[in-house]
Each structure stands twice: as C-alpha cells, then as structure tokens.
Chains A and B, each alone.
Chain A
Amino acid sequence: MTSTTAVNDLVKSEYEHGFTTEIASDTFPPGLDETVVRAISQRKGEPEFMTAWRLKAYRHWLTMTEPNWAAVDYPKIDFQAISYFSAPKRPEDAPKSLDEIDPILLETYQKLGIPLEEQKVLAGIAVDAVFDSVSVATTFRKSLAEVGVIFCSISEAVHDYPDLIQKYLGSVVPYTDNFYAGLNAAVFSDGTFVYVPKGVRCPMELSTYFRINARNTGQFERTLIVAEAGAYVSYLEGCTAPQRDENQLHAAVVELIVLDDAEVKYSTVQNWYPGDAQGKGGIYNFVTKRGDCRGARAKISWTQVETGSAITWKYPSCLLRGEGSVGEFYSVAVTKGRQQADTGTKMIHIGKNTRSTIVSKGISAGEGQQTYRGLVRIGQRAEGARNHTQCDSLLIGDRCTANTVPYIEVRTPTANMEHEATTSKISDDQLFYCRSRGLTEEDAVSMIVNGFCKEVFNELPMEFAVEAQKLLSISLEGAVG
C-alpha cells in the first residue's frame, strides 16, 4: 500500500510544485527505484503487462554491471543522480524567440541552410500550433494508413496495438542483454513504432522529423520496427542540425524484426552536442541497436553518420537467421576535439548462405579517439556464409588516434571471409594540390574527407546524403592548421 501511495505522490508531484517554481515541474526528482519505475508506467497510463515488464527489467538491471571493455574514458555515472521522467516542456517554459538561443548554434543552422521556422523548432522555441509540419504529418499519416502502415510513438502503440507490442518488444534486445538495455527497458521514455504489413512497400521514407510528438522523447528512447513478409521500409533517424539536450546520458534501444523477403533500411545522422573544447557537458550516447532477419532472404541495412556526442558506444548489429538473409553496415564516424567513439557492428551468421557487408569509415581529428570494434561470427549451420569487411581510418593532425579491433569467429569450413583495413592521413601533397587549383584549405579538407566517405554516403537517401556532406564539412572546420 505504501508503495502505491508513494507512486501517487510522485505522479501528482507536478500539481503540488507545478506552475509556481521556475524549474520544469513535470520532472521527477533524481533517483531510481521500483516506485519510480511504477510511476513512469502510471504517468504514461500503460497497461499492466507493460508495468510488469518494466519492473522485471528493473530488477534484473540491479544485478548487472556497467560494461567497461570499450576504449572510452569518462567519470563514473551516478545513476541515482539522474531524473528518469520528464514530461514534454510546456510552451511557456520554452525560449520565446531566436534571440534567446546560443548564437553559435544559430550560425551552424544557417550554414546548414535550415529555414527559419525549422530553426525555431530545433532550438526548442514554442511555435504556433499551425505550423507546417503538423499539416504535413497529418497528410503523411493518412497516406500511410491507406496502405496499412502503422507509424506512431511507442507510447501510443502500447495503448493501441498491445498485441504487437507484447509479441515483439524486447524480442531482439531483451532486457537481460546488457546494462544499458536493461536500464532502457525499465525507464524508457518514448520512441517510435513502425509496423509494415505483409507485402506492403512503405510509400515514403519514414522520419522521426515528421512525427509531431517526436520531440523531447527524452534520454531513454525506444524504437521498434516490424516488417512482415515481403514488406519494405526506409527509416531515417536523427537530424543533421546540432541538438542540445540537458540530459547527458542517452541510452536508446532500437529493435528491427524482418520476416521473409522483407527489407528494412535504417539510416541515422547523429549530431548531438559533443561538449565544449575540454569535452565538458557533451552527451554520452550508449545505444543498443539490433536487427533480426527472422525470415528467409530478409535484409537489414544500417547506415550511420555519427558526428556528435562526447562519447559514443554503439554497435548496430544483424542476426542473420533466415536462409539467404543479408546484413549491411555502412558507417561514417567523426571524432574531433575531445570526442571518443567506440563503434562498429556485429554480424551474426546463423542461417545458410547468409551474407554481410561492413564498410566503416572513421575520421579522427584534434584529440579525437576512435575505435572500430566489429564482430563477425559464422555459426556451424551457416554453410556458404559470406562476409566482406572494409574498415578505413583517416587521421587529421597528429594528436588523434584510431584503432581497429576486429573479432572474427568462423565455425563452418564453407564460409568466406574478407577483411580489409587501411589507415591514412590527409597528406600535405593532397592539400597543396587542391589549393594550387584555387580551393581553400577547408574546402580541400572537406572534399578529401567526403571522397573518403563516398561509399557510405551513396547508401543514404538522397537529401540525407547532401545534408550529411554539409554536416561533415562543418564538423571539420578548423580541424587542420
């Protein structure tokens, strides 16, 4: 009984403090225990099965320890010092105009060519309800509904499609998987749910950008995408514009389920705040992303461009179960200043004749530290499995580092493995050559870097690729000299 009372207190807390204090009152006090987990579930009005799942995850999480094998260095996180629920900000708390926004951020928006209205949204300014993307999103949803595609927040999905959620949530990344996945399952704030029915080719690229309530999904985001047999969907996550967030720790979970002959293409552009010159205040991005090719000839393609965050810990993976299923991973990761990234992929070949391709391009500048960590495992029954891995590092300056740590486990004699790795520097000769043709040093660097990343950019949807190129150029401004 006491625990229920405590939950109610917590849930009601906004009304007690509400509207009088300066501090956003819809935020739970820091700390994590079962009461908080229940309160989150209650605030979201979740059905019993969800609360029970969160609690199981929380109890399991208590038995887990933080992973420490990644080549990243940061002060120990105090998990009791974090607040685990924060309702979306009320408009009156938001900045009123662009005048209140950090000029450096605005300058970057301008360089990226983002229209003024969008700049306001990105900077978190309260905008009128009659704002373009609302109507766009409405039309968007309508045409999706016509073909039976479900595209909504995961909170809505928990209410509206409990059967699908119960069937699939946690089926690829169980809460027992790792420390951060366990934490995410217990306290996840919101996220995206996509369901593409049998034989349907989703008529448009799905992007969180178009989901009205996608903003302020918080630090523990959860994404679930299900493609039934023969379905196809391309999903874009993130945004090239720099995003600031008061929450330093981000621990998202993404699960993809792909059945016979279906394909999911998942593209990410991540540009979170990397911290100041000393690396202070930047986001810690500890993400678990995994796709499960459950059916024959299923295909998953991960493409990511990672330029932000102080620390990135991320390995989008593919479980290649179905016979002839295909996994792809294309990645560009940039570390500069004091940024650290330990990123790569896992390709787990289980079914016969499964194929995987890994193309990883790491760029390190300033005092950036970067590690590519990739696992390719070919199981006993994965006859005729094939993998090709290409992992290239580009160094700019002489204070950065790049490491490549491939793990290869092959248990079947008919498998075919190829691994290529290179490390190069932008040479003075290359820079001089470009400059002697009239290009500035910065244009030269951006051109050489974009050339280096070309194979990955080719995999991105058109507009995203153009933005990613711009983003890369801006990220590396002043990296040389």
Chain B
Amino acid sequence: MLVVNGLRATVGEKEILQGLNLTVNPGEIHAIMGPNGSGKSTLAHVLSGRDGYTVTGGSATFAGQDLLALEPEQRAHLGLFLAFQYPVELPGVNNTYFLKAALNSIRKARGETELDAVSFLRLIKEKLKILHLDESLLKRAVNAGFSGGEKKRNEIFQMALLEPKLAILDETDSGLDIDALRVVADGVNALRSPERSMIVVTHYQRLLDYIQPDFVHVLAKGQIIRSGGKELALELETTGYGWIDAEGLAA
C-alpha cells in the first residue's frame, strides 16, 4: 500500500530524513518511535504534503501513485489521513459543516455521489456512537476552544468519518492523560480493519499498551535503524533511546 524508498528531505539547509525505507501493507499497524528530533513528525508531514519541506531524494508510492507529486487534498482523496499532533482551530467553522464538505469533496474526487444532509447526519451519528462521543461535538466550531483531549478525539472522529486507507497518527498521545489516551486508543482500535493501515508515530511506549502494533520501527537521525515486533517497544521502554548514540548508526 505504501512504499517509501530512500526518502531524503530537508528543512532549509538541514537534512532531516536521510534515506528512509518503509513498507506498509494493507491492515498493518506500524509504530514509529524515536527520540525528539529524529524526524518522526517530518516523515508524517512529508507524506501528507505539508509545505516547508524539500524532498531531495528517494520516492514514496501510495496506492500505486507517486505520492510526492500530489497536492495535500489529492493525497486525502486517495485515502491518506493525518491525525495532527496539534489540531488547528477554525473559529466560526461548524464541525458538521466542515466534515460534510471534507467527506463530499473526497467522494466527488472519487466519482461517488455526494451525501445529502440527511444521509450525512445519519452517518455522522453512527460514527459518534462507535467512538462513544457526545453529539455536542457536532455543534461546535472546528477545534475552537477545545481542550487538548477533545482536539485529539475530534481527530479520531474525523478519521472514522473519512474512512482512510492509511492513517498517520502524529504523536496523538502527546499531552493526553491516561483516560483521554484510552478513549483515543479505543477509537483507533474500533477502526482497525484488514483494509486499513496505520502509522502510529509516538515518543512513548505508553500508547502501544492500548494500540497493539504489528511492527515497531526506531527512527533516529532520519533513518529507520531498527525494526521489530511489538516486543521492541517494550525493550525501548526499559533501555530508552540512550543506546542509539552509543551504538551509532550501526544498522
């Protein structure tokens, strides 16, 4: 589904991704862990098409297309979704209205019929139920005045509604207390399916207690230096990231 090959990207003069390889197959959950500044968020941003990064080498194909040649909205149309580390506030823009516009623009791009208000409302209520979210969420402006936990839950809600093929969760656990973390993780688990892949970017092992990954990768200095099963995450929990410097880029 997603094949990243030798990806290199810079911000200004600084090379952040230094030849990164990653393959994600349908239904797989990959956790990407690593110390601060290792390039975790950069990877998420480059894959979703955010401005401010220059790709200097390598490739990324998604659903058979050259992902890096596409505009952010075209990537969304193909089924890519980024859950933001810091969800953005859109004052005055109603959440329901925003979601309906987003879903319909994706459906339109795929040649599907746009949903009318009634079917959309039915769908959205169904999704709220699955995620155990409150209906008051629908009446509010997008993320405006939301608490940290509410913002993250809203991201998961958007993901549930847009039904992506590949979701990238960028440090979704940051700033969450244990209850909020559980709600978010339950949401993610409810959305697991054999067709849907996820990349869970996280600094701590904690989130992986709730979301069981198929693969864990350690990202350091812009490359994946170790890959393994979920036991790798547990090992990191005890050893921390200190060994990376000691070992250097032996891998």
Spell out A's residues near B (CB within 8 Å).
Answer: 427-430, 432-441, 443, 447-448, 450-455
Contacts and interface: CB of A to CB of B under 8 A. Distances in A.
Contacts of A441: 73
Most chain A beta-carbon neighbours within 10 Å: one of B72, B84, B105, B162: B72
Interface stretch (B20-28, B47-55, B230-238): B47-55
A448 B90 contact: yes
B44 to A, nearest CB: 10
A438 B105 contact: yes
Interface in B38-66: 48-51
Contacts of B81: 436
Contacts of B72: 432, 435-436
Contacts of A434: 90, 98, 102
Nearest to A424: B91
B35 interface: no
Given A428-B51, A432-B72, A451-B141, A437 B92 contact: no
B106 A429 contact: no
Interface in B91-123: 91-94, 97-98, 101-103, 105-106, 109
A96 B77 CA distance: 45
Contacts of B49: 435-436
Contacts of A437: 76, 98, 102, 158, 162
B92 A452 contact: yes
Given A433-B84, A451-B141, A440 B73 contact: yes
B71 interface: yes
A441 B72 CA distance: 10
Contacts of B109: 438
A451 B90 contact: yes
Per DSSP, chain A at the interface is: helix
Closest 8 CB pairs of A and B: A451-B92, A451-B93, A438-B76, A433-B88, A437-B102, A435-B72, A454-B92, A438-B106
Contacts of B89: 430
B82 interface: yes
Nearest to B98: A447
Most chain B beta-carbon neighbours within 10 Å: one of A434, A438, A450, A452: A438
B101 A451 contact: no
Most chain A beta-carbon neighbours within 10 Å: one of B102, B106, B109: B102
A440 B105 contact: yes
B143 to A, nearest CB: 9
B87 interface: yes
B48 A436 contact: yes
Nearest to B108: A438
Interface residues of B, number: 32
B38 to A, nearest CB: 22
A433 B144 CA distance: 14
Interface in B177-231: none
12 contacts: A427-B88, A432-B72, A432-B88, A433-B90, A434-B102, A436-B84, A438-B162, A439-B73, A447-B101, A450-B93, A452-B91, A453-B92
Nearest to B102: A437
A191 B89 CA distance: 45
Given A428-B51, A451-B93, A451-B141, A435 B88 contact: no
Contacts of A435: 49, 71-73, 76
Given A430-B90, A438-B76, A439-B102, 6 more contacts: A427-B88, A429-B88, A434-B102, A436-B75, A437-B76, A439-B105
A448 B77 CA distance: 21
Contacts of B82: 436
Contact of B76 (A436, A443, A450, A452): A436
A396 to B, nearest CB: 15
A443 B162 CA distance: 17
A410 B48 CA distance: 54
A427 B77 CA distance: 23
Nearest to B73: A435
Nearest to A452: B92
A105 B243 CA distance: 67
A439 B101 contact: yes
A438 B82 CA distance: 11
Nearest to A429: B88
Given A433-B87, A435-B72, A436-B72, A443 B92 contact: no
A384 B190 CA distance: 57
B126 to A, nearest CB: 19
A443 B101 contact: yes
A200 B15 CA distance: 74
Given A432-B72, A435-B72, A437-B158, A443 B105 contact: yes
A428 B51 CA distance: 8
A452 B92 CA distance: 6
A395 to B, nearest CB: 15
A435 B88 CA distance: 12
B73 to A, nearest CB: 5
B101 A450 contact: no
Given A432-B50, A437-B158, A439-B73, A448 B93 contact: yes
A438 B75 CA distance: 8
Given A438-B105, A438-B162, A439-B105, A450 B92 contact: yes
